Structure 1
Amino acid sequence: MKHSATRDFYAHWDEQRGEAKAPDRAALDLEPIRHLLADTFVLSFEAPLRLPVRVAGTRVAALIGAELKGRDFLDFWQDDSRDQLADLAAITKDESLATVAGATAQTNRGTTLFLELLLLPFASRSYTQEAITGLMVPLTQPGFVGHETVTHFTLTTWRHQGHQNLTLRQRAVRRLALAKGLMVYEGLVG
Structure 2
Amino acid sequence: MKQEGSIALFQYWNRLRDGRPAPRRTEIEPADIKSLLADTFILEKDARGEPVFRLAGTRLCATYGRELKGYSFPLLWSRRDQRMVSRLAYSAFHDKSVVVVTYIGISQSGRENPFEMVLLPLEGGLGSPRSLGAITPEHKPYWLGADPIVEGRVDTLRVVDPESEPAFLANRSSFSTPPIAPADSQMLRDGLDRPDPGRRIRHLVVFDGGRER
Please report how far the alpha carbon of residue 30 of structure 1 lies from its aligned counterpart in structure 2 after TM superposition.
Answer: 2.6
For residues 47 and 82 of structure 1, the distance between their equivalents in structure 2, rounded to whole angstroms, comes to 18
Aligned AA (2:81): S
Residue matched to 1:158? 157
Aligned AA (2:139): T
Please report how far the alpha carbon of residue 29 of structure 1 lies from its aligned counterpart in structure 2 after TM superposition.
Answer: 2.6
Deviations 1:90-111 (A, max 9, x none): 1122221210110111111111
Q: 5 Å matches for 1:74-85?
A: 74-85=74-85
Please give the TM-score of this superposition, normalised by the length of structure 2. Answer: 0.72
Residue matched to 2:67? 67
Residue matched to 2:144? 145
Aligned AA (1:75): L
Residue matched to 1:173? none
Give the helix-richer structure, 1 or 2.
Answer: 1
Residue matched to 1:52? 52
Please report how far the alpha carbon of residue 28 of structure 1 lies from its aligned counterpart in structure 2 after TM superposition.
Answer: 1.8
Question: Which deviates more, 8-17 or 70-79?
Answer: 70-79
Q: CA RMSD in A?
A: 1.6
Identity of paired residues, percent?
Answer: 26
Residue matched to 2:130? 131
8 Å Cα contact 1:74-1:85 kept in structure 2: yes
For residues 60 and 29 of structure 1, the distance between their equivalents in structure 2, rounded to whole angstroms, comes to 19
8 Å Cα contact 2:14-2:162 kept in structure 1: no
8 Å Cα contact 1:49-1:86 kept in structure 2: no
**Which is greater in Rg?**
2
Please report how far the alpha carbon of residue 76 of structure 1 lies from its aligned counterpart in structure 2 after TM superposition.
Answer: 1.7
Structure 2 residue runs without a partner (length 5+)? 164-213
For residues 142 and 14 of structure 1, the distance between their equivalents in structure 2, rounded to whole angstroms, comes to 31
Please give the TM-score of this superposition, normalised by the length of structure 1. Answer: 0.81
8 Å Cα contact 2:98-2:162 kept in structure 1: no
Please report how far the alpha carbon of residue 13 of structure 1 lies from its aligned counterpart in structure 2 after TM superposition.
Answer: 0.2
8 Å Cα contact 1:39-1:137 kept in structure 2: yes
**Is residue 20 of structure 2 the alignment partner of residue 20 of structure 1?**
yes
8 Å Cα contact 2:63-2:146 kept in structure 1: no
Three-state SS of the structure 2 residue aligned to 1:106 is: strand
